[in-house]
Amino acid sequence: MEKRRVFALLLVAVLLLTTLAACAAPAAPVAEQPAPAEEVAAEAPAETTGPAPAAEEKWCSGVDIVFFPGGSPGGPFATVVYNGAVAAQKDLGPNVEYVWSDWNPEKMVKQFAEAVATKPDGIAIMGHPGDDAFG
């Protein structure tokens, strides 16, 4: 019984110390020394040819993607995946079609075959019924 009590007290002490360490104020950042002037060399901007890209044109503009977030709209996991995909879509600019499967393996395989038939530039799958299902 005594060993259990000592172990429990040690465990509580370790947990308290860990919690206190995690809550401590961060250390002050160390100031970096500026580089000597003779070592700093400015690079000339690279020359470009052709017209500048339109301000709204993004890296993946014109790219068609079919995205399978898994689950159903509003599901706890699928919503997180979907929100990440929407943020990436906003940043990169592709055309994205979102396809929901309710985690139904037969439905997922059918939807995948339909997506392949549309010949998109890319297909993104989150969660699938196994590698064997896609042959």
Q: What pLDDT sits at residue 44?
A: 45
pLDDT in tens, the chain (135 residues): 576 665 555 545 544 444 444 444 555 555 555 555 554 444 544 444 445 455 578 889 999 999 998 888 998 888 888 999 999 999 999 999 999 988 888 998 999 999 999 999 999 987 655 566 556
Quick check: is 24 in a domain?
no
d(CA 133, CA 74): 26
* CATH code assigned at 109: 3.40.50.2300
Quick check: is 10 in a domain?
no
Entry pTM:
0.53
Quick check: is 22 in a domain?
no
For 19, 51, 73, 77, 78, the CA distances from 68, given in Å and listed in that order, are 40, 36, 11, 13, 9
Quick check: is 76 in a domain?
yes
Quick check: is 12 in a domain?
no
Quick check: is 118 in a domain?
yes
